[in-house]
Structures are given as structure tokens and as C-alpha cells.
């Protein structure tokens, strides 16, 4: 018997992981709402609150639409940041935690308690973050400690204090440019080392790395690598994209993520990690098959390490789950001849196998007339 994994004309990829999604913000699948441009982070937060306040669909409905897309494209693990503010309280979190429960057979979800309006400038958020972790959030979030909260050490005291108290991972949005951002990166690396959190701390965006002179960049990359701090990039607009090849060469765990998918922050995004891998390969000139496989690793093994789903090295220890993904039980079949073609063409025909069971794309599996339709070892 030939296993599904060996089907001619289909290529098996490792499980796809999207380590930065905002399920509570997305308008994916809803009526198109024209994007209202960009401003400061604070301006965007205000536009978003107005948009969502007038939207007919709940977090549960909008989030489920995006989960359906992500799952059908091969995502079996994701990290979703959920707003915790004086305005939202824990309302968004409660809906996303319910989605996590409803989708548990198809994917695992790491939920970040994310202070979208800062921590110290809000009245209730420091306490709400603690409540969020007690309610079931997995990871402590942070946001622009200097530019938004005006107090780098004070902000990190709350974030890392809570991580130490709860044994959680950390994921900090850092949009801060130049030296401001680099000072924050250094402080984050120091806290990570002091608390023994190597492999458990991620900085999302890290736009500042695009501003640094080569010597400062090299120093910053080495510091991140030795502290075990990962970088998650959504490959944003020109000028703020972190120099991914340099970071990889220094040994930093870099993942490519979606971040905003059709919401008040961005009209773009298809909920497909292969689209992100393709964009990475295109931007960085990775044109050989080896290069395309490197691009694939940024949406598979790298985010898998960040989320504790795969052994982390150096220094991060074993997977939280106790096992690495098994290539015979956890994979995504894509109708393509090769990994390169799968990345470049991004066909929608996919069969998603998780723990040996088809969890999405059953209609394609049925047409292959394999019996039994499982991901069993050959």
C-alpha cells in the first residue's frame, strides 16, 4: 500500500505555521472595507476601534473565517495576538479562546495577551494581562516600550515579570526605529538571558534593524542569537524590512509571518504561509531550489521552534509538546511537482494531515482514491 504522502504529482511539505495573526482584528471574508491609510500606531488603533465598533460580525465569526482559510492552506499551528486594552478588557480574548477550543482538532493555537494600547498608559491593562494569562492565554505580549509607553524598563518589568511568574513565552511588537528600537532589542536580550528564557522570546517586526549601519547590525544580530531571541517579520514595506539574510547568517531564529490580514492595518494578506515564503524568496533573491527550501523553513521549522512545537537550538531545549513533528504523521500535500513549484505557484489544492489524520482538503484526498486515506507510514 502506498501512503497518501507518496502520491505522484503531489509534494509533501512540513506543517505550515503562521506565528503572527490577529484573529480579533481581521475582516477577512467580510464585505471589502476601503483602507483608510496609515499614521502613527496610536492613529491606527483609533481607526481600528471605529471600524470594529461598527462592524456587524463578531470576533468569533470573523476569526472563524480566517481560521478556515489558514487551515485549508496547510496551517496546523498558529499564534494569535489578542488585544487587551482598557476598552476591550478580556472580551476579545474570551472569543478567541473559544475559537481555540472549537478548532483544536485541526490546529493548535498559541494565544498572546497583547497590549495594543500599551501597558503603563492604560489604567487596567497590567492587571488585565495577568487575568488574561490566568484565563488561558499562552504568551505575554508587549508593544513599543519607549515610543508608546514612554518607559522601556517599566514596560519590560511588567512583560518579563509576568512571563517569569507564569512560565510563559514572550512576543513583543517593536515598531520603534533606529537607536530607540535597538536599545529596546538589547534590553529584551538582556532580560531573556537573565531569566533563562532563551528560545522563548520573540520580537515581532524589529523595524529598527533595517536602520542600523553594518557594524551595529552585526552586533545586534550576535546579541539576539546568543540570547536566543527570535525575530518574526511580516516582510512589510520597503525601508523597514529587517535584513533577514544577515540575521540568519548570525544564527538568529527568523520566522516569516502574516501579521495583519485584511484589517484596519493592512488590506493585504491571503492567509497562506506559502505566499509569505514566496515573498521572502523573491525579496532576498533566493532563486535556487536550496534558496526556495530556505524560504520554506521560515514558515515551517523556524516558527515551529518559536512556538515550542519543535526542538529549539541553540539553547532552547526540547519541544514543549514533547515531540517534534513526525514527517509521516504531520505534513501538507500540495499539488505540485516540487517544493519550489509549491512555493512559487501556491496551488490551492492541498491535503492537510495532522497526527496521521486528514484535517483539511478531504475532498482532494477522496479523489485520490487511496485506501485508507490516512497519513500512515508506508
Question: For residue 150, what is its C-alpha cell?
Answer: 514612554
Q: Does 263 bind Zn ion (CB under 5 A)?
A: no
Q: Is the peptide bond before 314 cis (omega within 30 degrees of 0)?
A: yes
Residue closer to Zn ion by CB (options 22, 200) is 22
Burial class (CB in 10 A: 0-12, 13-18, 19+), 228: buried
Phi, psi at 66, each rounded to 5°: -70, -40
Give me the 213-252 binding string for Zn ion, x by CB under 5 A, dash otherwise. ----------------------------------------
Contact 172, 142 (CB under 8 A): yes
Residue closer to Zn ion by CB (options 110, 259) is 259
Convert 173-224 into a string of H (helix), E (strand) and C (coil): EECCCHHHHHHHHHHHHHHHHHCCCCCCEEEEECHHHHHCCHHHHHHHHHHH
- To the nearest whole angstrom, how small is the minimum distance from the Cβ of residue 204 to Zn ion? 6
- Under DSSP, is residue 365 helix (H, G, I), strand (E, B) or coil? helix
Residue closer to Zn ion by CB (options 111, 353) is 111
Question: Could you please report the per-residue DSSP string of 277-296?
Answer: HHHHHHHHT--SHHHHHHHH
Binding segment toward Zn ion, per CB under 5 A, in 66-74, 190-198, 243-251, 257-265: 257-265
C-alpha pair distances (Å), 103 with each of 92, 99, 108, 336, 340: 17, 6, 8, 27, 30
Residue closer to Zn ion by CB (options 275, 330) is 275
Q: Say which residue the cell 472549537 belongs to.
A: 102
Q: Does 259 bind Zn ion (CB under 5 A)?
A: yes
- To the nearest whole angstrom, how small is the minimum distance from the Cβ of residue 173 to Zn ion? 6
- To the nearest whole angstrom, how small is the minimum distance from the Cβ of residue 297 to Zn ion? 22
- How many residues of this chain bind Zn ion (CB under 5 A)? 1
Q: Does 110 bind Zn ion (CB under 5 A)?
A: no
- To the nearest whole angstrom, how small is the minimum distance from the Cβ of residue 81 to Zn ion? 5
- To the nearest whole angstrom, how small is the minimum distance from the Cβ of residue 114 to Zn ion? 8
Strand pairing partners for 230? 202
**Could you tell me how far CA 106 lies from the centroid of its own chain?**
17
C-alpha pair distances (Å), 191 with each of 49, 100, 205, 302, 307: 33, 30, 19, 22, 19
Residue 268 and residue 291: Cα distance in Å, rounded? 25
Residue closer to Zn ion by CB (options 188, 358) is 188
- To the nearest whole angstrom, how small is the minimum distance from the Cβ of residue 265 to Zn ion? 8
343-362 residues in contact with Zn ion (CB under 5 A) are none
Binding segment toward Zn ion, per CB under 5 A, in 147-155, 179-187, 255-263, 346-354: 255-263
- Of the candidates 357, 355, 363, the one whose C-alpha atom is nearest the C-alpha of residue 335 is 363
To the nearest 10°, the Cα dihedral for 341, 345, 351, 354?
70
58-76 burial: b if 16+ Cβ within 10 Å, else e: ebbebbbbbbbbbbbbbbb
Residue closer to Zn ion by CB (options 204, 220) is 204
Binding segment toward Zn ion, per CB under 5 A, in 69-77, 87-95, 259-267, 294-302: 259-267
- To the nearest whole angstrom, how small is the minimum distance from the Cβ of residue 247 to Zn ion? 19
- To the nearest whole angstrom, how small is the minimum distance from the Cβ of residue 21 to Zn ion? 8
Residue closer to Zn ion by CB (options 24, 330) is 24
The residue at minimum Cβ distance from Zn ion is 259
The footprint of Zn ion (CB under 5 A) covers 259
Amino acid at each position: 500500500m502506498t501512503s497518501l504522502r507518496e502520491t505522484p504529482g503531489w509534494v509533501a511539505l512540513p506543517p505550515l505555521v503562521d506565528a503572527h495573526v490577529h484573529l480579533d482584528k481581521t475582516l477577512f471574508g467580510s464585505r471589502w472595507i476601503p483602507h483608510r491609510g496609515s499614521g502613527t500606531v496610536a492613529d491606527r488603533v483609533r481607526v481600528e476601534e471605529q471600524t470594529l465598533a461598527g462592524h456587524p460580525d463578531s470576533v468569533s465569526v470573523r476569526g472563524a473565517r480566517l481560521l478556515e482559510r489558514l487551515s485549508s492552506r496547510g496551517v496546523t499551528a498558529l499564534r494569535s495576538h489578542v488585544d487587551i486594552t482598557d476598552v476591550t478588557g478580556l472580551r476579545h480574548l474570551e472569543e478567541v479562546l473559544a475559537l481555540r477550543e472549537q478548532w483544536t482538532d485541526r490546529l493548535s493555537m498559541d494565544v498572546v495577551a497583547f497590549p495594543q494600547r500599551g501597558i503603563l498608559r492604560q489604567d487596567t491593562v497590567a492587571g488585565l494581562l495577568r487575568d488574561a494569562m490566568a484565563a488561558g492565554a499562552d504568551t505575554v505580549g508587549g508593544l513599543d516600550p519607549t515610543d508608546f509607553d514612554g518607559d522601556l524598563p517599566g514596560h519590560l518589568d511588567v512583560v518579563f515579570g509576568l512571563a517569569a511568574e507564569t512560565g510563559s513565552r514572550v512576543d513583543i511588537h517593536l515598531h520603534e526605529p533606529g537607536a530607540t528600537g535597538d536599545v529596546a532589542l538589547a534590553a529584551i536580550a538582556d532580560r531573556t538571558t537573565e531569566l533563562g528564557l532563551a528560545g522563548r522570546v520573540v520580537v515581532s517586526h524589529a523595524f529598527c534593524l533595517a536602520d542600523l549601519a553594518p557594524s551595529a547590525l552585526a552586533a545586534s544580530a550576535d546579541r539576539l542569537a546568543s540570547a536566543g531571541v527570535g525575530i518574526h517579520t511580516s516582510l512589510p514595506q520597503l525601508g523597514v524590512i529587517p535584513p533577514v539574510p544577515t540575521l540568519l547568517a548570525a544564527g538568529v531564529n527568523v520566522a516569516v509571518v502574516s501579521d495583519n490580514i485584511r484589517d484596519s492595518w493592512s488590506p493585504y494578506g491571503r492567509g497562506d504561509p506559502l505566499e509569505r515564503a514566496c515573498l521572502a524568496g523573491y525579496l532576498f533573491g533566493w532563486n535556487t531550489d536550496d534558496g526556495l527550501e530556505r524560504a520554506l523553513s521560515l514558515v515551517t521549522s523556524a516558527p515551529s521552534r518559536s512556538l515550542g512545537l519543535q526542538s529549539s537550538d541553540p539553547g532552547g531545549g526540547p519541544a514543549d509538546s514533547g515531540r517534534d513533528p513526525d514527517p509521516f504523521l504531520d505534513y501538507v500535500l500540495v499539488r505540485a511537482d516540487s517544493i519550489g513549484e509549491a512555493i512559487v505557484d501556491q496551488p490551492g489544492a492541498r491535503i492537510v494531515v495532522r497526527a496521521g489524520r486528514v484535517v483539511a482538503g478531504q475532498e482532494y484526498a477522496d479523489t485520490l482514491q487511496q485506501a485508507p486515506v490516512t497519513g500512515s507510514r508506508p
